[in-house]
Structure 1
């Protein structure tokens, strides 16, 4: 080994770049067939080992979430090249003192590259599909990574990787008072991506463990998950910057600029972010609660960093977290998960109020989704112009399925019951009386009533 690391790296790449020449030279020798036989034997032995592990993984993830099953598909595909690489590596070191190993050495390159590629896909899918949905950029990133890995393997085999490395070392740029090469920038990007991906993967793993815990409150689980992910991401960025040799004191300038940005243009974003933690910590709104805020009503399905998702029959509404903290929120499930559903109806003054109240309470008692405890009840609300107004109220335990269906069933049952008992539902009536023409010609002082009189009647 020389004192120049770049020279050592170039020499190593040159040695491995001769693999194609070594393969062509060994092709006419007797050991070439033996190498092919050893390679085939290693791959045949790797197949049942890989299938055994794949079946165990499939059984383990059979009842898992979408993100786990989606990521496990890449992990399962990595098993065969992984075992093949391990067996071929063992055969190479065992046979190297006795025979040529150009075929085995060449086979190690794609086996290692494909294994690394699938493991990278596994981490990417765990991180980018954690919410149960595929991100649009995931497939594009996988295609780009596949292309880059295969190009790198081709350059490595053909012996051109050393030339590319030297060219990137010669391409230098000014960064402040320092000169950095294209290779340094590329290595920095690789380290940052690797550390961030590992941190995000560990954050997803920790989130799954926390969410499965039965002893923690739901809101506390979300808070711990978010704090741990933020800390892991911060530590990974600082570690990656240290690994590539960037002085962390330069971040003080960035921190000052970030503080000014938060104070000027990012007030709402910071407010929503902090409000999200306040909501989770004080547990005023929890997942599954039935709430009404402003003109939006529905079930809380997600509490995200910037907004809260409220789901109802019309779809999903994204309510900013600041709105849930600064405005009045009606939480129908704050102390009780049962939600009251009420409707009003008028009955004729001729009907006995006690009878009407009893009939209204009984007709909604057996409707689907209506709870018997608390029992349905009817009330006399007011004496209106056209009739007596009553209110019928029931309680349901599943407000996430909507209240309109229950209210519609109540109205239909009330209509049928009142018709069966011959109780009319009054409506406003107007009676127009037209006086005679001679009366209309009399002076206004002599007329006791107006020519046209409109009177209300029940």
Structure 2
């Protein structure tokens, strides 16, 4: 009863469903399945609705997963016995439904045990349900012989690529194996990337290069291994290789240039994560380097995707290439009656700040004798320019303002002297003295 493949195939199932007894058995099977669904819903309401913490316990959760197949299975066995007692014949479809329900329970039990055995977070409940459903549908297709019908149809859809004959089954088989091998390769690349990125003594750019090269190499090797496994000759790739070469020559050369430029940038370490760049009058910090572009994040939070080719072919100002500290100046004007030595000392005193290094120390200068006052300038180095300059400037200017008010130093505003000269009659040359 549990293995019905030898006496049941897809054609027999289709013929049985075209008869009255077959449709009756199908209806009984559906009713038993609905009874199992109803029992599972009632069990969920009683066990978990008011106690959701039980859903993560092994025994209550496993028992709940078995309610549907067990209730449906025992209902189906009762229907089989009733059928044989009333009609004195053996049903054809009900044993098939019984086997399906039995293996549904086995698969659900196995998946629940696997989820409980693996570490928490490695095998989630959604993944468990998906895998159990796929395994059960695979068993159902095998039990009724639908797999042979599907395989025959896939093999019938065929075509040729050069001298190689391909069918849909081969392509799907290749896609499956390629997916499995590529997933394994990506998992290995993630392990390698985690190990490489953990090497703190190595430069960050080199670590990124090695991680990306390992991932690319593993994917290429995975595809080259998967294709011969499914029986596809690697010479088939020569056709696609020629098409890719033509595409690179005409439409994809810019993309290829960006990829090559990305590896050059990472290898020569001219641009690194955290560098402050000026590209086309846009200033920002490098937050990410990919094989195609560099992410430049400005102070306002906007991010620009700069192609790697532009960073190689154009002039780029790296303001933190050798040292990330930056020099900024704060201009200020004082009155002509000011003691300049005292004012310069105030500027240097106001520059004492945790973000301003003492070596080199802040410097104050007299820059010009302007119309309304004397121009001074305070120059400082900022240790962490990535935190911005607006707040730092505000704090220093406030400190200068407070000290100027204490010392009576005035900050002038524009002044103009207007002199009015009246003309005396007869005093102008070329005129007579007549009134």
What TM-score range do you get, normalising by the shorter chain?
Answer: 0.5 to 0.7
Q: Which residue of 1 aligns with 2:169?
A: 183
- From 293, 301, 313, give the equivalent of 2:299: 313
Question: What stretches of structure 1 of length at least 5 have no aligned partner?
Answer: 1-11, 22-76, 82-101, 126-138, 447-458
TM-score by length of 1: 0.62
Deviations along 1:373-410, whole A, 9 cap, x unmatched?
33222222233333222221223332222222212222
Aligned positions, number: 338
Please state if 1:323 is matched with 2:310: yes
Q: 8 Å contact 2:107–2:135 — kept in the other structure?
A: no
Q: Which residue of 1 aligns with 2:44?
A: none
Q: Which residue of 2 aligns with 1:260?
A: 246
Please state if 1:251 is matched with 2:251: no
Q: 8 Å contact 1:195–1:237 — kept in the other structure?
A: yes
Q: Which residue of 1 aligns with 2:182?
A: 196
Give the structure with higher Rg (CA).
Answer: 2
Change (3 A) 1:123 1:169: farther
| CA–CA distance in structure 2, aligned partners of residues 266 and 14 of structure 1 | 53
Q: Which residue of 2 aligns with 1:403?
A: 389
Change (3 A) 1:174 1:253: closer
| CA–CA distance in structure 1, aligned partners of residues 351 and 410 of structure 2 | 18
Deviations along 1:134-181, whole A, 9 cap, x unmatched?
xxxxx9x99998875554344245543333333333333454555433
| CA–CA distance in structure 2, aligned partners of residues 434 and 17 of structure 1 | 120
Deviations along 1:412-439, whole A, 9 cap, x unmatched?
2223332332222234345566777x99
Q: 8 Å contact 1:291–1:297 — kept in the other structure?
A: yes
Q: 8 Å contact 1:16–1:159 — kept in the other structure?
A: no
Q: Which residue of 1 aligns with 2:199?
A: 213
| CA–CA distance in structure 2, aligned partners of residues 194 and 241 of structure 1 | 12
Please state if 1:345 is matched with 2:361: no
Shift of 1:206: 0.7
Change (3 A) 1:321 1:16: farther
Change (3 A) 1:240 1:311: same
RMSD: 4.2
| CA–CA distance in structure 2, aligned partners of residues 13 and 165 of structure 1 | 20
| CA–CA distance in structure 2, aligned partners of residues 176 and 145 of structure 1 | 38
| CA–CA distance in structure 2, aligned partners of residues 433 and 267 of structure 1 | 72
Q: Which residue of 2 aligns with 1:14?
A: 5
Q: Which residue of 1 aligns with 2:321?
A: 334
| CA–CA distance in structure 1, aligned partners of residues 172 and 306 of structure 2 | 41
TM-score by length of 2: 0.65
Question: What stretches of structure 2 of length at least 5 have no aligned partner?
Answer: 14-57, 63-98
Change (3 A) 1:256 1:164: closer
Deviations along 1:177-227, whole A, 9 cap, x unmatched?
554333222111111111211111111111001001123211110110111
Q: 8 Å contact 1:123–1:198 — kept in the other structure?
A: no
Shift of 1:233: 1.0
| CA–CA distance in structure 1, aligned partners of residues 349 and 339 of structure 2 | 16
Q: 8 Å contact 1:346–1:387 — kept in the other structure?
A: yes
Change (3 A) 1:143 1:104: closer
Change (3 A) 1:215 1:104: farther
Change (3 A) 1:13 1:254: farther
